[in-house]
Amino acid sequence: MSTFSVRPLLDGRSLPMLLQSDDTDAPLGGALPMLRDTVDRHLIGCGGVVFRGFSLDGPDAFRAFAAAFGHPLLTYEFGSTPRSKVTAGVYTSTEYPPHQHIPLHNEQAYTRDWPMKIWFYCMQPAQEGGETPIADSRAIHRDMPQAIRERFAEKGVMYVRNYGNGLDVDWQDVFGTESKAEVEIYCAAHDIDCEWKDDGELRTRQICQGTARHPVTGEWVWFNQAHLFHVSNLEAEVRESLLDVVGDEMELPRNVFYGDGSPIEDETLATVRGVLDAHKIVFPWQAGDVVMLDNMLTAHARSPFKGPRKVIVAMAEPNHQR
C-alpha cells in the first residue's frame, strides 16, 4: 500500500500543506480514502493543500477526484471572466492573455453565491511564470486597516456590470442562455437587479458582502472583488479611453461602489491591494499537481507566463449568503 508524507510546501509557512505520494504510480483518486482525514484537517487549518507525486490521468480523472469529496461539481454560472468547459464540471482557468496578471481574489466573491471548495489541476506548467499565487483571507482581514475593514463590513459592495458591446463578456455567455426571460428569472432568484438598456444590452447591479464569516470556523475573512471590478484597476490610459467611449462610470463594462451607491475611493483600493500583495504566497507548479483550496479561507491569483500552460479548474459545495 502506498504512503504519503505531509509537510508545509514552503519553509516557515503553513499555507499550503504538501501531501506528497511516495509512489508516483499511486492514483490520486484511489488514494483519497487514505488522504481524506488529513485533507479535511489541513483545509480548515491552513486553507489549502497541494497533492504532488500522485498519478492523475487527465480531466475526467480530475473531475472524479473532485466529485469524490461528496458534493456535485458546480457549473460556472454568472461568471465574470472567459472560461471554456473541458468536461462536465471542469473548466479552463481564466482565459486572459498570458502577459496579464490576475490579482488575488476569492472565486465568485462578487456574488452572494460562491463555491466553498475549488481545485486546480496543472496538466502543463508554463515554461516561465504562470504560478497560481494564494493568500490567507483571514490574515488579509486581520491586517486590513480597521477603518477600511469596518466600512466594507458595514456598507457592503455594489457591483455594476454592463455586458457585451465588444467591451466585456456577452450576457448570453455569462448566463448560458439566449433567453432574456431566463436571465430575469435567474436574477430574481439571486437578488440581482437587472435592466435591458435601449440598445438591447443588459445591466445588472448586486449588493454583496465586503467581509464574510466562515460557516465552519466562524472566522471573518476579507471577501469581495472590489479591487478587481473598480475602475482604478484599469491602467490610466485604458480608463480614460473607456470613459470617453461610454461617457459615464455607471456605463463601464464593470465597476463597483459601496453598497449605498457612494463611490469607493481610489486610495482606499490602493491600500487594499497593498495588503493583498503583502500576503501573496507564490510557488512553482509541477506537472500533475493538484491544489485544493477552501475558497473562503484562501484567495488565489495568476502570474503572467510564457509558453503553453494548461491549468483546469473544478468547484463544489455552494454557499448562499442571504
From first to last of its 322 residues, what are the pLDDT tens digits of the chain?
A: 568 999 999 999 999 999 999 988 899 999 999 999 999 999 999 999 999 999 999 999 999 999 999 999 988 766 555 567 787 789 887 677 889 899 999 999 999 999 999 999 999 999 999 999 999 999 999 999 999 999 999 999 999 999 887 777 889 988 889 999 999 999 999 899 999 998 889 999 999 999 999 999 999 999 999 999 998 887 777 767 776 676 677 778 889 999 999 999 999 999 999 999 999 999 999 999 999 999 999 999 999 999 999 999 999 999 876 5
CATH number at residue 303: 3.60.130.10
Sequence-distant (≥ 6) Cβ neighbours of residue 196 within 8 angstroms: 180, 202
H helix runs in the chain, sequence order? 28-45, 58-67, 137-143, 146-155, 171-175, 180-189, 226-229, 236-246, 266-278
pTM of the model: 0.92
Instruction: Please give the residue range of the domain that contains residue 239.
Output: 139-276
The reply to whether 19 and 115 lie within a common domain is yes
188 plus 68 within the same structural domain: no
Q: Indicate if 23 and 58 belong to the same structural domain.
A: yes
236 and 145 fall within a common domain: yes
Same domain flag for 118 and 190: no
Q: What is the 3-state secondary structure (H, E, C) of 265-287?
A: CHHHHHHHHHHHHHCCECCCCCC
State in Å, rounded, how far the first CA of the chain is from the last one.
46
Chosen domain end from 240, 259, 276: 276
Q: How far apart are CA 113 and CA 320, in angstroms?
A: 5
Domain count, the chain: 2
Q: How far is CA 303 from CA 16, 162, 209, in A?
A: 17, 27, 27
Written as nine digits, the cell of 59 is 480531466
Same domain? For 23 and 146 the reply is: no
Do 209 and 100 share a domain, yes or no?
A: no
Spatial distance between the Cα atoms of 275 and 280, rounded to a whole number of angstroms = 9
- Do residues 92 and 15 both lie within one domain? yes
Q: Is 252 found in the same domain as 295?
A: no
Contact 263, 230 (CB under 8 A): no
187 lies in the same domain as 120: no
Q: Are 308 and 229 found together in one domain?
A: no
Residues 198 and 248 in one domain: yes
Can you name the residues that pair with 5 across neighbouring β-strands? Answer: 20
